[in-house]
Amino acid sequence: MTVFEALPFPGGMMRFGIPEYRLPRDVLESEIQEIQKAGVEIRTNSRIESLDSLFLDQGFDAVLVALGRQASLKLPLPGTGLEGVWNGLSFLKDFNLLKKVETGNRILVLGGGNVAFDCARVARRLGAEEVGIACLESREGLSATPEEIEQGEEEGITIYPSRTFTEILKEEGKITGVACLRVASFEFDQDGKPEIETIEGSHHVLTADTIILAVGQLPDVPEPFDLDLDERGFIETDPYTFDTSAEGVFAAGDAVPGSASVIEAVASGRRGAAALDKYLGGDGEIDKNLAPPAEATPWLGPGEGFADLKRCREPKIGGAERVKSFCSISQTMDEETAGYESARCLQCDLRLGITPVRFWGDY
């Protein structure tokens, strides 16, 4: 099996999109080494522009397309071409490639998802004095995870919710801020475009000298791949077989609808690999038992089981200290805490041992 990677190092968005303080690079490297030990060849700096080149020129029998979401959505906003305006993925990618990333001291990120918070938190660690996040969503409706939001605020990031943007402002060729209106309500139409109701007389300016656009990402599918895409640009696949519109071509991960996290993308990739194995004549069984099976305690109630156990507070570095470096935020649990947390594991298989309900007609 061969993996073709367009960038100089393997890892995709886990390496070039997720900052090191959230995903330590030694953990990522260890996982990649395990994949290579299993016999997978990884070819870096190898962008594929045509699937035919893999089938015809290199003799592969099947292909799994797992491109991720490498293209940033664009805002139809005057001023996006000014110097000092970044798109979120380029900002994170250049930083993780150790390129020089020049920003000002007052940074405003447009967007409310995890990528927006990653950009804002990296900017704080690069020395920006003031970092804000402005987005369409209300404070309660932010699409970023609660953990990202909480940690971002701990690090001094200001959130400006319920804003829509009319123009990036400049004076003498330099960015001065973003003109905004307050949002009363909004919803997405059937094409995924926002329909926004603004508050009359709410025009105001959020000052900044650097703007980062992080309003969403899409797959960057080369046109010569000739795969059917949905109206949003995701690869159309059969949800069960992972087949695409091309014979012998499968797709998984963030490039197909449904994956919204690393865990979901990995799970999708595993199911795609199983489908690929079946296509090539295998049985599709790729799972391994890594530990001896344990018999679950058949108790769901409080007192003796796991249902009433509360989650431990995650040990982590304080906000003021962690913005000084890119060290991992989460600290190692001690043995006692780790044992307690493991006891909270929900025994999902218990439902298989519960006696089925019998109705009157069953007697």
List pLDDT tens digits, range 211-220: 999 998 889 9
pLDDT band at 363 (very low <50, low <70, confident <90, very high): low
**135 and 112 Cβ atoms separated by less than 8 Å:** yes
Distance in angstroms (rounded) separating the CA atoms of residues 195 and 207? 25
Which of the four pLDDT bands, split at 50, 70 and 90, describes residue 351?
Answer: low
Position 304 pLDDT exceeds 60? no
What mean pLDDT comes out for the span 248-276?
A: 89
Is 355 or 242 the better-scoring residue by pLDDT? 242
Residue 48 has a pLDDT of: 92
Rounded alpha-carbon distances, angstroms, from residue 60 to 2, 42, 252, 299: 9, 15, 18, 51
pLDDT at 353 over 70: no
Mean pLDDT for the stretch of residues 47-65 = 91
Domains of the chain, each with CATH number or no CATH: 2-70+218-279 (3.50.50.60), 73-217 (3.50.50.60), 291-363 (no CATH)
Q: Which amino acid is at 202?
A: S
Q: Predicted confidence band at 326 (pLDDT cuts at 50, 70, 90)? A: confident
Q: What is the model's pLDDT at position 157?
A: 96
Query: Quick one: 320 exposed, middle or buried, by C-beta within 10 A (0-12, 13-18, 19+)?
Result: exposed
* Whether the predicted pLDDT of 332 surpasses 80: no
For residue 245, the model assigns a pLDDT of 93
Please work out, in degrees rounded to the nearest 5, the angle formed at the alpha carbon of residue 281 by the alpha carbons of 280 and 283.
Answer: 115
Which alpha helices (H) appear in the chain, and where do they start and end? 13-16, 25-37, 51-52, 88-96, 114-125, 146-154, 262-279, 319-322, 335-342
pLDDT at 232 over 60: yes
pTM of the shown model: 0.82
In the prediction, which pLDDT does 333 show? Answer: 79
Higher pLDDT, 57 or 325: 57
Q: Number of helices and strands (H, E) in the chain? A: 9, 15
Q: What is the mean pLDDT of residues 288-308?
A: 64
- Categorize the per-residue pLDDT at 153 as very low, low, confident or very high, splitting at 50, 70 and 90: very high
Instruction: Indicate if the pLDDT at residue 354 is higher than 70.
Output: no
- Compute the mean pLDDT over every residue in the chain, rounded to the nearest whole number: 87
Grade residue 262 by pLDDT with cuts at 50, 70 and 90. confident
